[in-house]
Structure 1
């Protein structure tokens, strides 16, 4: 047995000794010992790895070949069985398999099927020309032009989902605080129980000390209702799936779900305007409102005048003319009240 084979056996034994039998990661010291032993295995097997890389003609892809050889060392350690063979045997076969796979991936023209059609492997960085005659590389031709758009869309969807979740959390927390405060007020307004009143007749009528907190059953019902409302709002308001919201609680009608969602939408809009955490949302909403087309102002209603509306069909036959001017030498008529022209009867008072 050579010195390298003995050193590999010792290093592999150290790796196996620091691994847990149940497959758990182990402590930090165990992981450090495993990393140290693995580095020693790579150092001992380095000449063997270089030999196989040259043998398989992968010297031009030395970095990729070293990476797959490191993977081969991992797999050899996992498959090692000292009762069947030495570790060098497992290591040699794993390295050969990984390098052969890499060779087929990088140089497809080495396969028998490729040799029949005289296929040639070229690098992706090789120069070529576009249909317009411009020089470029194959890497630029296979570039996915829609990758950036898909990435931005996915990031936008993720941010929108996180924002909706934060809004729902803020809404549920506000509703929980309001509900707990309501339960506390109701508890303070309740009278003490009869058995306590009978045991302590000296207590004043306004004694409420034993009911300082809300009823636990009512509190649990409040939490359950809020969680149900959260699920309904999330599915009905953000997803638009009212049918799925109805399936969450069969006792609720479509009208009741509409009321829950409508109330929640108003509260969420108020939170966006008042909560500093959603200041960017409020600013964006303001920008969108500013960029929207301005609504036409509603014309003020025409004031009713003394003259009839001449544009109406039923007033077309009416003629309105200016009254004739009175001559300067015409005698002035006296304005006599109508009551003065009525003859007075005895016994009646004339106004």
Structure 2
């Protein structure tokens, strides 16, 4: 046997000796011995791996081929029996099998069925190239630049629909309370009311206790009709003619229902804390952006209370000739001013001496 074969047999024996037979976990010492021996095996058969990779035409997929060869070596060590064959012969067949499988997965034109139809494997990255000649990945080719905009728009529409549905529900609940209260206050014959309560039986008093179920059904039908009119007319801009034909209500009645609903929904949005953002949005006095901080006004004249400014004086100058103007009343007034008064802002045509 050659030196490489002897070294391979010794390294494989080290791996087998430090592998528990009962499936128990390796100790830290055994793990270190196995890692060192496995690295030594890969180093010894590296020329053989390079030869097989070139033989199977996988040089363009070198990293994948090396990973498959490492898996083949691992499986060969697990199934190796020294009494049947040498490790060099046994590992060759494992490496060949893994590389053949990899070639069939990467290059489908190598299969017999593909050779019959003269199929050719083409990389998806080679379908398009950039201006510089670089390959463009399929992910970049199918990238949708408007995906973010459409996603945000769909999310906005979903939130808006939910808010509209809650507003209409709150409005219908308000109409239901008013309608139930009107039915309760409606005068009925005492015998009919007593018969109705006997039919309901003894139970806890509810919001609809003592009200004829037929009248409640009529109220719910009317509320469903009004809900459809409000939803389609106020929030979906349906025409009066369409609503009148589909609901059987006159156009004037539809106009009155929508007008009353719009006013009530606006009041609900203003009072209900759930719709506080909707009530504040778009108002004339509500700023859409945070106001910018106010600019700091720095006085033009120095602080006369500081020791190094106590001897300073202010004199006006002529803007055209930049010469002092000594005879104006303004100059005399400034010269007679107290030091505390000189700290106030002055015209830009003043100079310090």
| Coarse TM-score class (shorter-chain normalised) | 0.3 to 0.5
TM-score (norm: length of structure 1):
0.40
